[in-house]
Amino acid sequence: MVPGNAIRFESVIDRFTSQNGMHYIDVPDEVAQPFTSPTPLRLVCLLNGKLEFHCALRPKGNGSFYISIGTPIRQQLKLRPGDKVQVVIWKDDSEYGRKMPEELQELLTIDEEGNRCFQALKPSEQRGIIYYVDGAKNNQIRVDRAIKMIDRLKKK
């Protein structure tokens, strides 16, 4: 559900010639301004009213900002460079900057040592684990991935 303080704008799918050809959308300065901070700010983005995802507002280095549009998002919405997109963004108030998969949350609830190790990670490392676990298509694979990642953390 889109909150009342969300900001709407239109942008175009573009691609960096460097940075491995990463796809992105430009965020207009007046839209980016309320979300700027010294570190990349976590946002929720809704594209074309169809696909909601967690992301970061990133500086381009020339004073402007962008949001990365990864391959799974482009494929799901059938987007190509040059396509116009309707964008809605708002501040991500979730604890980890991503939706926590139930399987990982359950494991962290019952595994105190694993939870301590997970909480000791940098936020970006936590998001990486959450992304990896949540990327599995079925419940059992998410469980297996969660166990694998927490076991690795405990061995460090």
Domain boundaries, the chain: 7-91, 102-155
For the chain, list the strands marked E by DSSP.
Answer: 7-15, 23-27, 41-47, 51-59, 65-68, 84-91
| Percent of the chain residues topping a pLDDT of 70 | 97
Average pLDDT, the chain: 91
**In this predicted structure, what is the pLDDT of residue 63?**
82
**In this predicted structure, what is the pLDDT of residue 156?**
80
**In this predicted structure, what is the pLDDT of residue 42?**
85
Q: What is the CATH number of domain 7-91?
A: 2.40.30.100
**In this predicted structure, what is the pLDDT of residue 153?**
94
Q: What are the tens digits of pLDDT across the range 16-72?
A: 987 678 999 999 999 998 887 766 678 999 999 999 999 988 888 888 899 999 998
| Contact between 44 and 22 (Cβ < 8 Å) | no
